[in-house]
Structure 1
Amino acid sequence: MGVIEQSGILAIATRLQRLSERMRKDGLAIYKAHGIDFEPKWFPVVYTLHMKSQLSVVELANEIGYSHPSTISLLKELEKLKFIKSTKDKADERKRLLQLTEKGKAMIEQMKPVWEVMIAATTPLIDTKNNLMKAIEEVEHQLELQSFYQRALSLMAANQAEKSADQ
């Protein structure tokens, strides 16, 4: 067991990142094995536009849970590859509306059978005694109620108050 594994909960973000990187690397290999040139990092944008057909940049960023700058970075890559296009909103010219191009839609059709394979391969990985997807949903919900930072601040304040009371 390595140092990171021994550190337990202290390294949860590191362990989740490591797991994510491993899944992304294998996802890339699966796409390549099917002759699809697609980066897993593009998935949230492409899939969301597949499901919602047209969104503003802000709506898309909110939908995928990414910061505006991170979303813009992905959008630039996808526009350069001509997988997505943007048009100005007729009601508000400051707003860009995003949608898949015909090339993007064709790519989705090519990827649908691959997604079925990915779902079939991933399901037994996460369907354990402690079902990973359910655990992630529970943690995300808890973080919506109170962020990790807010929780730490509350504990630090309580510890400080306890020290003051002891003096």
Structure 2
Amino acid sequence: MDFYRPPGYLIFGSRLRRLSEYYISELNSVYQQLGIPFDTSWFSFFYILSKTEDISLVDLSNRLQISHSSVSQMIHNLRRKKLVKSVRDKQDGRKQVVTLTKLGRKMLDDIKPVWKSIESVMSAFEAEEESLTGFLERLSKLENALKAKPLGECILADMQLAH
């Protein structure tokens, strides 16, 4: 029997983490087998930089909805690996603007075919398994619902009603 089924929503976060760890591990393995020194934790940064020439740290933080310090730390790591560079914004000297280096652009060229295959394979899973149809859309709806009504607040309110 699968331990993760009976507890239902009580173990929802653990199931998502388990699925996420599996997914990340598999993708990192693919990059490694292809000889591409890319780490999936860099994906969101590379994806955004694949769509725009450069971006400020503040804009990056806002788009990713993560703290400025997390963005700064990741950019620092990518800079150490010579994949990105940051310069002061020409319009506003207080802002740092990040862009891919030549090595970063080369890596982006190397990983784009992997991204295409990921899309293809995951779409095929969705097409083969009817219950997966619209999964990402439903996941987005759940994320939006939890933004609108934070889970913790809802649980505490429910507990108040029960007493």
Work out whether the TM-score is over 0.5. Answer: yes
User: Using the alignment, how far apart are the partners of 1:6 and 1:100 within structure 2?
Assistant: 47
1:35-114 map, 5 Å: 35-114=35-114
Shift of 1:68: 2.4
CA gap 1:5/1:68 in 2 versus in 1, 3 angstroms: farther
Structure index of larger Rg = 1
Greater CA drift, 2-11 or 97-106: 2-11
Query: Are the counterparts in 2 of residues 83 and 103 from structure 1 also a CA contact under 8 Å?
Result: yes
Provide TM-score, normalisation by structure 1.
0.86
Q: Deviation of residue 136 (structure 1)?
A: 0.9
Counterpart CA distance in 2 for 1:146 and 1:24 is 29
TM-score between the two structures when normalised by the length of structure 2: 0.88
Q: Which structure 2 residue ranges, 5 or more long, are not aligned?
A: none
Per the alignment, in what secondary structure is the counterpart of residue 6 of structure 1? coil
- Look up the SS of the partner of 2:5 in the other structure: helix
Point out where structure 1 has 5 or more consecutive residues left out of the alignment.
none
1:153 to 143, 151, 156: 156
Equivalent residue number for residue 144 of structure 1: 147
Q: Percent identity?
A: 28
Change (3 A) 1:4 1:101: same
* Pairs aligned (count): 160
Pair 61,154 (structure 1): closer, same or farther in 2 beyond 3 Å: same
Cα deviation, residue 101, structure 1: 1.1
- Provide the aligned C-alpha RMSD in A: 1.8
Distance 1:153 1:101, change over 3 A: same
